[in-house]
Amino acid sequence: MNFDLSQEHQMIRKTMKEFADKVVAPGAIERDRTKAFPKEIFKQLADMGMMGLPFSEEYGGAGADTISFAIVTEELSRACASTGITYSAHISLGGAPLNLFGTEEQKHKYLTPICTGETFGAFGLTEPNAGSDAGGTQTRAVEDGDDFVINGSKVYITNASYAKHLAITAITGEVDGKKEISAIIVPTDAEGFTVIDNYEKMGLNASNTTELVLENVRVPKENLLGKRGEGFRQFLVTLDGGRIGIGAMAVGIAQAAFDRALRYSKERKQFGKPLSDFQITQFKLADMAMKIELARTMVYKAAWLKDQGRPFSKEASMCKLYASEIAMQIADQAVQIHGGYGYMKEYEVERYMRDAKLCEIGEGTSEVQRMVIARLIGC
Amino acid sequence: MNIYVLVKRTFDTEEKIVVSGGKIQEDGAEFIINPYDEYAIEEAIQVRDAHGGEVTVLTMGGEDAEKQLRTALAMGADKAVLINTEDDLDEMDQFTAAQILADYLKDKNPDLILAGNVAIDGGSGQVGPRVADLLDINYVTTITKLEINGTQVNIVRDVEGDSEVLETSLPLLVTAQQGLNEPRYPSLPGIMKAKKKPLDEVELDDLDIDEDDVEAKTETIEIYLPPKKEAGRVLQGDLSNQVQELVQLLRTEAKVV
């Protein structure tokens, strides 16, 4: 048993901590207000070789492990959760399915530009009537000669405005009365493909969340990603990895909220002493520190299992579920400790609270995580 | 070009310094590359990229300094050397450090040696110039610009906020001032490759140095933290009374007149 991060992990953490504090944090309030996508930050991350972090050098990646991915996602999210989720989705939803299920040719063609940062990674799964319940999928891909002709729509798709291509799920047929769902790579500039970026969100305002409309979009059959009819299973595997990313993101937000709450409670004086001298504040802060420690440990454990090539679905769900819920609690308490100031944007903690909420929803709600865990513990 | 960078492992600038038993407590503290040395590393990498050659980062101290050397390798340095003095020396000063570094460097034929202007811990700014003196090569401190053409070197150095332009020639030692460049973040591929780059460890024996010959010439008598800053006082009343009170306070309380 060894709880130490490797020398590389420590170096990645230190580098990303500095980068997050100096480059990512300063504009976070402004980007939240103006909904400006952090393009310049990602240009720098691409220069630092972070955009292809876990993927093979053959495709322009850096060949790092999942723990490194969790560290980078946590540090970015600590400074700006919009930047964190953009990164997490880029790697774990955009790049990972190509890496896992793509042919050699598809990887060179589609994964390489993701690794170099030339395009953002995205994944088109959720529909108005289908998310974790893939049975509700309505998007259809009909064979026509050598092509698929795709019709349908997707909602809440991260990064699609900045993606040159993405994998989407669609019904490709019917087997024994059940929908056959497959994943297909679609270029976003294909005729009939529209990306709509006009959601008004509660938080994560600087991240790109879009609606996709596909009207008779024609792509060659070779764009099938993985095996025909395996789209659903593939997306489950993809989401397992994505959940580690959301867990890390939640830990980052929680850490940011705790850091601010601790600092403020030492500065702010009421009734003749700092807030941190009151036991009620101390207990709040102690609980926060404990929960963050536990959540981070669980994120690392899930990431470690994944890196060992061992089953990690249960742990990924657990880390995502726990980290999201404690991030929400901690952000809430951080606002409370700040009192009236905490309700003001200037003090950042209210943003953490709005941003943290998404972690309990995206890539499987907390309820879905409990379903996954229940299934895996033998219910 | 054969380039060496003198690097020191120092306290993180964000660390709170705790003194107990006459010593600065290092337990649990974070350590970094001395920030001025980071400018030196960055400049060395840029010079190498422009003129070719090899960058070796050199430090002395204990095993722990390996971390800072690996960071320099991750930034892009080619090789690292740790002169491990952990078992041989309890105390060292600028004399000790310069003597050992110069002994190591004397048969390495460096064209260019870079160091930080000062280390943020001891802050003496002596080691660089002393090394140059021992090696009998030119040196320029607190530089903010470096241009090399052949063996000819043009330098801008910071003199208390003003700039001094000078010409010199290789071999040369320079110390880096803030403003020389913007040190890069180690890239992820750089971090991944850092472990595979050569990091040599040598001890004083390997350099034929007798520890008595490098014994510190200075002795630390006492280490203490600066006094806590007290809240200021605003004098009130009419002007002549205020002046009187001020003079009185300067005499009796501050004891400066």
How many CB contacts within 8 angstroms connect chain A with chain B?
Answer: 42
Segment B14-68, tens digit of pLDDT: 878 888 888 888 888 889 999 999 999 999 999 999 999 999 999 999 999 999 9
Confidence (pLDDT) at B13: 81
pLDDT at A309 over 90: yes
Name the minimum distance, in Å, from the CA of B66 to any CA of chain A: 10
Q: What is the rounded average pLDDT for all residues in chain B? A: 93
pLDDT average, residue stretch B149-165: 94
Segment A167-185, tens digit of pLDDT: 999 999 998 888 999 999 9
Segment A88-104, tens digit of pLDDT: 999 999 999 999 999 99
Segment A183-215, tens digit of pLDDT: 999 999 999 999 999 999 999 999 999 999 999
CATH 1.10.540.10: which residues of chain A?
7-116
CB contact under 8 A, B189 and A49: yes
CB contact under 8 A, B70 and A18: no
The ipTM of this complex is 0.86
Confidence (pLDDT) at A77: 98
Say which amino acid occupies A281: T
Confidence (pLDDT) at B17: 83
Q: What is the CATH number of domain A233-376?
A: 1.20.140.10
Does the domain spanning A7-116 belong to CATH 1.10.240.10? no
pLDDT average, residue stretch A56-72: 96
| Nearest-by-Cβ selection for A53 from B67, B70, B188 | B188
What percentage of chain B reaches a pLDDT higher than 70?
A: 100
Confidence (pLDDT) at A128: 92
pLDDT average, residue stretch B6-14: 91
CB contact under 8 A, B70 and A11: yes
Does the domain spanning B2-214 belong to CATH 2.40.30.20? no
CATH 1.20.140.10: which residues of chain A?
233-376
More confident residue, A236 or A293: A293
Confidence (pLDDT) at B168: 97
Domain segments of chain B as ranges: 2-214
Confidence (pLDDT) at A354: 98
What percentage of chain A reaches a pLDDT higher than 70?
A: 100
Confidence (pLDDT) at B257: 80
Q: Catalytic residue numbers of A?
A: 363
Name the minimum distance, in Å, from the CA of B178 to any CA of chain A: 17
pLDDT at A87 over 90: yes
Nearest CA in chain B to A61: B189
Asked if residue B128 lies in contact with residue B39, where contact means CB atoms within 8 angstroms, the answer is no
Confidence (pLDDT) at A337: 98
Confidence (pLDDT) at B191: 95
Segment A128-152, tens digit of pLDDT: 988 878 778 999 999 999 999 999 9
Q: What is the CATH number of domain A123-228?
A: 2.40.110.10
Query: Which of A253-267, B142-156, B240-254 is the least confident region?
Result: B240-254
Confidence (pLDDT) at A288: 98
Segment B194-247, tens digit of pLDDT: 999 999 999 999 999 998 899 999 998 888 888 888 888 889 889 999 999 999
